[in-house]
Structure 1
Amino acid sequence: MRYFIGLELPSHAKQAVDAWREKAWLAGLNQKPVPAPNFHITLAFLGQVTEPQLDRLQTALGEIDCAPFALTIDHFGYWQKPPVAWLGCSEKPPQLSSLQLRCVAASRRAGLQLSEREYVPHITLARKCMPPVPPPLFEPNLPIEFSAFCLFESVSTDRGVTYPVRLRWPLTVPFRSPSHKMNSSGH
C-alpha cells in the first residue's frame, strides 16, 4: 500500500484552486490536470508501507502536537523533473515547518526511508506538463486554514488515482498548565 502524510484542503479551498486554475492558467487546459478532489499539500511522501510500519507510524503520528495554522497560496511554480505545475506559498508559517519536520521524524521512527529533498509545500495543478509552461495571467491569493493533518493512501483505479484519507489527527494547541505567582500569604 502506498501512503503519504499531508494536509487535506477544505472543499471550499479545492473549489477556489480549481476556479483560479480555470481563470488564470489557461495552459492548464492543455496539460494533464489533477482533479480538484485530489488537491492536497504533502507533508511527507512515504511510498510503500508494510502493516508493521503502518502500526508504528500511527502511534508516532498520534504523538505529534502542533497548533492549527493558516497559509496563503500566492505563488505559481513549475518543476521540469518531474514536469509538474503547482501552487505554493511565499511565506511558510512556522507551524507548517514544525509539523512537516515532526511528520518526517515520526515516519523515520516507524522504519520508513524518506527522501532528503528540500521541503516545498505545494498543491499540484497538473502533471506531465510539456515545456514551455506559460505563467498564469495572475498570481493566486487563496488563504487556507488547517486544523488537522492526515494519512492518505494512494489508490490506483481504472479512472485514475485517488487519495482517500485513512486517518486524521487534529491540530491542537498543547495544554500548558498556567503559571501562578504566589504572594507572600501563599495565594
Structure 2
Amino acid sequence: MRLFLALIPPPALRERLGELADAAHSRCGGRRTPDENLHLTLAFLGKVSEERAAALVDWMHGLAVPPGKWQLDAWGHFRGPGIVWVGGSRPDPALQRLHETLWDRLEAHGIPGRPSRYVPHITLLRRAGRLDADGLPAPALAWRYNRLELIHSINNGQDVRYTPLARSQAT
C-alpha cells in the first residue's frame, strides 16, 4: 500500500484551491490536481505492508495534532517534475515542528524516509508546460487545521484516488 500523512483542507478552502488550480491550469497547462485530491503532505511513507498499515491506523487513533493556522500567500514550482503549487511565502514554524515531530515518531516505529528538506505546499498542477505564475491571482488564504489523515494512494493507471484510512484526534 502506498501511504502518506496529510492535512486535508475543509470544503470551502478546497473549493478556493480548486479555483486557483483552474487559473494555473489555463496559464501553465499540465495535469490539474482534482479538487478531491488537494492536500498538504506532511510525511510521504511510500510502500507499506498491510501489517504496517494496520499498525499506523491504530497509531493515528491516539495521535493529537496541535491546532494551527497556515497562511497560503505564494505561488511556487518544482522545475524537474513541472509542479506548480501554492504555499507560504515564509517558513511556517508550526508546520515545520509538526513535520519533524511526525518523522521522529515514525522513525521510532521503524519507518524510514525522512526527507532532507521540507517545503510545505499544495500541488495544483503536474507536468506544467509553463512555470511562470505572473498574472495569476495572488493566493491569500488562511487554513486552520487540527486533524491529520493517513491516506492510501491508489493508482489504477489512469487516475489516482486517495482513500483515508484513519484520522487523528481533533483538538
TM-score by length of 1: 0.80
| 2:30 equivalent in structure 1 | 31
> 81-90 or 47-56: which moved more?
47-56
> 97-106 or 146-155: which moved more?
97-106
Question: What amino acid sits opposite 1:15 in the alignment?
Answer: E
> 17-26 or 41-50: which moved more?
17-26
Taking CA–CA contacts closer than 8 Å with sequence separation of 6 or more, which of the two structures ends up with the larger relative contact order?
2
Counterparts of residues 132-171 of structure 1 (less than 5 Å)? 132-137=130-135, 138-157=137-156, 159-171=158-170
Aligned length, in residue pairs: 170
Q: Which runs of 5+ in 2 are unaligned?
A: none
Report if the CA contact (8 A) 1:7-1:148 is conserved.
Answer: yes
Report if the CA contact (8 A) 1:69-1:93 is conserved.
Answer: no
How much has 1:162 moved relative to structure 2?
1.1
Report if the CA contact (8 A) 1:4-1:45 is conserved.
Answer: yes
Q: Which runs of 5+ in 1 are unaligned?
A: 173-187
| 1:185 equivalent in structure 2 | none
Identical positions, percent: 26
Compute the RMSD of aligned alpha carbons: 2.1
TM-score by length of 2: 0.87
| 2:109 equivalent in structure 1 | 110
Counterparts of residues 1-187 of structure 1 (less than 5 Å)? 1-23=1-23, 26-28=26-28, 30-130=29-129, 132-137=130-135, 138-157=137-156, 159-172=158-171
CA distance, structure 2, for counterparts of residue 75 and residue 10 of structure 1? 19
